[in-house]
Structure 1
Amino acid sequence: MALTSHSEDLAHLEGINYLFGYPISHSMSPLLHQTIYDALNLRWTQQLFESKDMAKFLQLTRDPKFFGASVTMPHKVSIVSHLDALEPAATAVGACNTIFVRKDLKTGQRRLIGTNTDVVGIRDAFYQNVLNPKEVFQERPALVIGGGGAARSAVYALRNSMQVSKIYLVNRDDFEVDAVMAHCKANGFGQDLIHVRDLKQAESLEGPGAIVACVPDFPPVTEAEKTARSIFQCFIQKKHKGAILEMCYHPHPWTSIAEMSQRAGWQVILGTEAMIYQGLEQDRYWTGRQISDMPVEQVKKAIASKLSKSKL
């Protein structure tokens, strides 16, 4: 089926996309995208649609000015069944965070296509910040902390794009880890996954070179949470020091996990880096421009300025 980008029709016209999720009032996504649109002289905007109403959101996508959407929790999985097609990353991860519009050249019908740029955000957060990936994390084990959709995205990025040897999974909930492992294996990227269940097992394993932390910044309270934290601390104290991507950046990007990692000698990559690079990838789909043609440094400055003000 021959398709063309609907955003091409809006290049010189007013265009709109949405951030669809709940709650999202704290999101920096509109700032990120507006910085890009202004620099590219596009009369486009991203608006927050803070709602759980799927039907209302789908109605908004029928607006001729609509060219795409960012999708966040709790809709990343439920949106999939409402789309016309998915790109491989969204199919594999089982979640969509980006919708773009393509027009059927024969019928003129607008089709909603879903993809997952979270995996690109994770990949590029490492490759844009780690000077020597081969020495730091390639051909070494990696560690993913967490058990939700972000953990699946992390496994996909590590397995498909970062050349790691194996992937350790650590979480307070064993059932969630088992579900992540089952999903990854069923979708073709679950080889060499190891569920690390206790401190003794962690002590026996080779240290990781890349860590992706996908958990909120809360102190451990339950025994299961304390066990997961002790496993993490065991890994960062091992001889090899790599890079950790702390995906949590709200309400503050410098978390307790970031602090512990830095003290242990690890390079800390803030979660805003993954947010920025997944957003740039979204605009690659929407604008048809290459990321090299986008105001990357301007975006980083805008996000950093917003973060500095939020700390005041």
Structure 2
Amino acid sequence: MSSTTTVTMGQEQQHATLNLGSHIDQLDKHGFLFGQKLTASMSPLLHDVVYQGLGLNWEQLRLDSTDMDLFLRLIRHPKFYGASVTMPHKVAIIPHLDELTEECRDVGACNTLFLRHLPDGRRLFCGANTDVIGIRESFVQNVPDPSVYENRPAMVIGGGGAARSAIYALHKWLKATCIYVVSRDKSEIAAVVAECTKRSYGARLVHVETVKQAEALEGPGAIVACIPDFPPVSEDEKLLRRITEVMLRKEQKGAILEMCYNPSPYTALGALAESEGWQVILGTEALIWQGIEQDKYWTGRETSELPVAQVKETIANRLAKISKQ
């Protein structure tokens, strides 16, 4: 099946819903990628490779919409298997779910909706956060020597949902001694610190606010960048870049995961880090591993049973095309 089916909901919502109904009749099961600005997302492509590899007549459909009520109606369909949830719905979806995994609850954001079937035939709508797995596995799978980042400080650039997932992964699995947090928006960091404090690990966060402060700190071993690939324009953005440059130029290097991969994973920040001697991990690595984790929820298979090699090859081929462009 094609992995490019898109349903855009707006004034033609009723017509689009009818078209969707005719399409899913041809599938054994269907899911959604629910959010906005989905055109360049590789998520449906990734899952299409998995379903073809397993011989499943399934498809993930792009649902480009802000209409939560519509989404909640669509997921009641008997052929629905689950959904990837992206911005701006990762937090808003949580009150509508029956159960949350530990990671979803602790991060306070959901990127994966899956079903749990009860003996009486009822379905529970459950939320998971596989972003944290994607971040963890990006380092575990790509950095041969974990001492590069373990038992060293780490740093997270940005203060949104991806930053929260990064903090959780660095804290829980990647053995960061402390986590530097930097953002152009101080109120974002204040909110992140408050939430992490409520979940018992806020004391490990260090808000780096000045170049002088950055110069005095021990260098990080792992950096996760969770900001768009735009050149700094405002004074706050320029300060954020200078603080980042100070950290990248520390004597002891490490690995940086550049979460931004849309429209291209080859970012200015990634190029800067590489020039300073850092190992750069593309954001598509996080996409791959969080997607594989999602398919474990949806298909009930283990990682060893999923076509991971084919997924990586397909994403690499897509990246090669982007690189040529």
| Alignment of 1:17 onto 2:50 | no
Aligned residue in 1 for 2:278: 266
Counterpart for residue 139 of structure 2: 126
- Provide the residue aligned with 2:232 in structure 1: 220
1:60-209 correspondence runs (5 A): 60-105=74-119, 107-134=120-147, 136-209=148-221
Q: CA RMSD in A?
A: 1.0
TM-aligned CA deviation for residue 185 of structure 1: 1.1
Which among 274, 293, 303 is matched to residue 315 of structure 2?
303
Q: Give deviations 1:280-303, integer Å, cap 9, x for gaps.
A: 000011111111211111101111
The alignment-based identity, stated in percent, is 56
Paired amino acid for 1:126 = F
State the SS of the aligned residue for 1:78: coil
- Structure 1: which 5+ runs fail to align? 1-12
Question: TM-score normalized by structure 1?
Answer: 0.94
Distance between the aligned counterparts of 1:57 and 1:188, measured in 2? 33
Name the SS of the counterpart of 2:142 in structure 1.
coil
Aligned residues: 298
Question: Which amino acid is the alignment partner of residue 114 of structure 1?
Answer: G
For the pair 1:58 / 2:64, whether they are aligned, the reply is no
Q: Deviations over 1:18-70 (max 9, x none)?
A: 10001111111010001001001111111111111111111111111101000
State the one-letter code of the partner of 2:98. D
Structure 1 position 188, deviation (Å): 2.4
Write the deviation string for residues 250-290 of structure 1: whole angstroms up to 9, x where unpaired. Answer: 11111011000000000000000000000000001111111
Kept in 2, the 8 Å contact 1:142–1:209? The answer is yes
CA contact (8 A) 1:17 1:69 kept: yes
Aligned to 1:43: 57
Q: Matches of 2:200 and 2:50 in 1, distance apart?
A: 35
Aligned partners of 1:137, 1:30: CA distance in 2, in Å? 32
Structure 2 runs not aligned, ≥5 long: 1-26
- Alpha-carbon deviations, 1:211-236, whole Å to 9, x = none? 00000011111111111100000001
